[in-house]
Structure 1
């Protein structure tokens, strides 16, 4: 993503088309990486038409909102232009295959196109949030590819969790699909949520994929309801479920005390909790109270990590911010983004609100599916 130009456009206008024309004149093999707000999903077809007319390779995703230096926008388009689009592929849900073998097969094929580079590629994945087994597919993918690539990514889609065509290229718009891009440089993707480990542990005694039916051998909603009332004096019911669940997410305890956040997003008729991301059976869980709004210490730590990874003084950062985190933080979400923008020293910052985040704890490490996190990536440009 080096030598990238970029821009935020509140709507599809002549200025956007001129932006694409100018980029094509500078770079004959130009590509565009686009983030489009859900409310402007009809823009995808216009952007496809323009890029096809100009001979520009296009890939991108549709998200609940987009982010620019001016704030979080329910409407608009963010464009990241690259001199030459790296290898990429799209797969629909049927084409993902069992245990991720189709994803791994496509990645290995694309890696062959990049044999000339001495650096490890970054595999950037955008899944539709309605794919129910993203965490398992990441585990399977790592078993097949291991540390031949670095891993990062996002979930696209509608904040209503209704089906939309959330990933696209010049000719495709896919519902419940995957967009994968192999960036030929080693980019540092920072993924953080700022949660600390509570003392009380729970057990997911009966689960199926992202559906928890029992916690501590009790019906999941009953146990969750009791815990929230006991610890936080909140009276949770079916009517106010999502209003409060985003403030009291679950934590999945992994090796080395690593915590992966899971937001309960739906409550089914049987009292099971449907989470954004799988929960293994008999997994150890904890109940969080999400961090208070405006936790400046978290922004400071994240900004410091960004500064340590900066490779050039002429750079910008992509920022992907969990939509559930924004719902919890309220106006504090903008404060966190503003703080990162100010401390980064960037001339511009672009990104999107996401419905799940993918990152690793180390370069080349195993990819993990997160909720409530921020993903930050540095881009160098001319």
Structure 2
């Protein structure tokens, strides 16, 4: 039976409430709370952020563990919401853990010592959130070094749609623009990630990089090399007169051993022609310039959903979408079709599957092979059972 309070409707272990008021969020969390193993994920749209410090005090005072962040939009079913709160309860094996400056800080291995982790015999999920866009390779390599390929990884780069870096990640211990938060969930999650971008160039090499800044491509000026490819493909017909927008429609596809290449968005052009990306680009990485078609994006979202739910047992589940905000930017008013396509992709599953999620500036996924990566332009789908 569904229960209602302050404009909220929920069943099972999650809910969306149209109000972000601290009192309503606290009431909802208390209603769902079952015991000390609980941890809540909380997400707010960037246009409707409550007093996070007050929320932290109230939830912590009530003995409720939580983690989450501020996103450029919430996904509830096939609709996009710019207000309210998305709340989900999980069984937590350990955490949440805070890394105060995830770009530079080292993570102590003491975190995993003497803990009865669910992945001892395989299983469990590590959920991760940090602010961005930012350099994340150092942090993600350490996380992978701690937990290996015995768990599934899923998470998001949080932030505001205007891309101004300010506090967007929170937990009982912090509300920060520099900290990462992660927790080990007892629940298993089936994760799939696809972007749908299509390569249009021959292989190229990032011959000089500095974390997320590409300073050379093929030993030449990166902007000139990039625009040459785009000009040839577009035949002089560009999305706009602004080179930044030309490149925004044409991300890098980094060559990997994953089922699909890692998509890396280019966010900014520096005065010297260097390319600032929404994630790290390794030096001497092999990549190809790419473009999208509307249908290829829809198809990628459908594939993510089908893989994530492909081997489902006959149990109710939630399909949690972490969807790059760039996908919404480039498709505009047509974006709703992507959510409808995902819904259609899981409509034939006999067990009930709910859809919810957030927009992100980077999608954190194990790509189905155990390796951990921060992606761009990607639709990540994670299937959690409700019970």
Q: What's the TM-score once normalised by structure 1's chain length? A: 0.86
Change (3 A) 1:234 1:352: farther
Residue pairs, 1:128-277, within 5 angstroms: 128-132=131-135, 134-143=136-145, 145-198=147-200, 200-234=202-236, 240-255=242-257, 258-277=260-279
- Would you say the 8 A contact 2:19–2:83 is kept in 1? yes
Change (3 A) 1:353 1:7: same
Distance 1:208 1:92 in 2: 22
* Alignment-derived partner of residue 73 in structure 1: 81
**Pair 1:360-2:369 in alignment:** no
Change (3 A) 1:117 1:359: same
Distance 1:163 1:299 in 2: 28
Match of 1:114 among 112, 117, 126: 117
- Would you say the 8 A contact 2:213–2:275 is kept in 1? yes
Distance 1:253 1:263 in 2: 14
Is 134-143 or 119-128 further displaced after alignment? Answer: 134-143
Match of 1:48 among 45, 51, 56: 56
Residue pairs, 1:307-322, within 5 angstroms: 307-322=309-324
- Secondary structure (helix, strand or coil) at the match of 2:291 reads coil
Number of residue pairs the alignment of both structures matches? 372
**Pair 1:379-2:384 in alignment:** yes
Q: What's the TM-score once normalised by structure 2's chain length? A: 0.85
- Would you say the 8 A contact 1:64–1:353 is kept in 2? yes
- Would you say the 8 A contact 1:197–1:259 is kept in 2? no
1:106-150 Cα deviation digits (max 9, x unpaired):
5424x7243696443322221221432x13432354345432433
Q: How far off is 1:201 after superposition?
A: 1.5
Question: Which protein has the bigger helix share?
Answer: 1
- Secondary structure (helix, strand or coil) at the match of 2:189 reads coil
RMSD: 3.0
- Secondary structure (helix, strand or coil) at the match of 2:153 reads strand
Unaligned runs of 5+ in 2: 1-10
Distance 2:329 2:121 in 1: 42
Q: How far off is 1:197 after superposition?
A: 4.6
Unaligned runs of 5+ in 1: none
Distance 1:289 1:116 in 2: 38
